[in-house]
Every structure is written in C-alpha cells, then in structure tokens.
Structure 1
Amino acid sequence: MKIFVRERRRSGKGEKKPRYRVVGVQGSDLKLYAKRVRKCELDEIVKHTGADVVLLERDGKGDASGR
C-alpha cells in the first residue's frame, strides 16, 4: 500500500499546523477522512498498516494567490 502526500506550502517546521496533505492512497481499503495530517499521525498510520509514504515534490509553479 502507498500513501501519497505533499508538504503544505503555508506550514513550516515548528508551527502547530498539520504539515502534509494527503493526495491519494493506493492498494488498500484504508479510508482517510482528514485532508491534512501531521507527521506523527502519518508515522502512526504507517506503523499500523505497513504502508509506504510517497512524498510528492512541488514544481514551484503554484497559484500566485496562495491557494
């Protein structure tokens, strides 16, 4: 199973905001109801499911309005 995530643009290290956004899940009956997850939450999901986390890279060509 793979969980695809990307790092959020507006959250940095040390902030009290979830840092990753779940983009998709492959190969399981796992349903994620949260759109954004913290690193510790992601690690806990991986520990219990044996999934691999795929960190998607940004191309730097996002929407200029900050969305």
Structure 2
Amino acid sequence: MKIYVRERQKVGTGVKQPRFRVVAVTGEKGDEMHFKIESVHFRKTELEQIAKDVGAEVVYLEEMPEEERGEMRAAAAV
C-alpha cells in the first residue's frame, strides 16, 4: 500500500498548521484491504505513524516548478 502526499501551498514556514495533503491511496484488492481517510491535512509525523500502522509507504510528490504551472494555466485558458 502507498500513500501519496504533497506539501500544501498556502501554509507558510513557522505556521502551526498541517503541511501535507493526501492526494491518493493505493491498496491490494486480493486481501481486500480498505483504507479510508477522514481528514484532509496532515502533519508529517501523523502520516508516518499511519503508514507504519497499516504497513504502507509514504510517497512525497515533488512540487511543480512555478514556470510549468504558469504554462499549464495559459494552455488551459486557450
């Protein structure tokens, strides 16, 4: 099982808010393992503890460069 997360964009440094957002969760169908997320934002320690308890791996997604985000928005507007 893998838990895919990314850093939230609107949280500044030093702010006491959860920095990570769960993007997706994958699991096995053979064992019919189900995993339901109740919260939206998590702290890194919370994610690592959940992953340890359910035997999952946390995958931290890389941030998209600002230049690429601008190009994608311009292409979507056309």
Q: TM-score, normalized by length of structure 1?
A: 0.80
Which runs of 5 or more structure 2 residues have no equivalent in the other structure? Answer: 28-32, 74-78
Q: How many residues matched?
A: 63
What residue number does 1:34 align with? 39
CA RMSD of aligned residues (A): 1.7
Percent sequence identity is 49
Q: TM-score, normalized by length of structure 2?
A: 0.70
Q: Which has the larger radius of gyration?
A: 2
Choose from 35, 52, 62 the match for 1:47: 52
**In structure 1, distance between residues paired with 2:12 and 2:6:** 13
Q: 1:19 corresponds to which letter in structure 2?
A: R
Q: Which has the higher helix share?
A: 2
| TM superposition outliers: structure 1 runs of 4+ over 4 Å | none
Q: 2:63 corresponds to which letter in structure 1?
A: R
Q: 2:16 corresponds to which letter in structure 1?
A: K
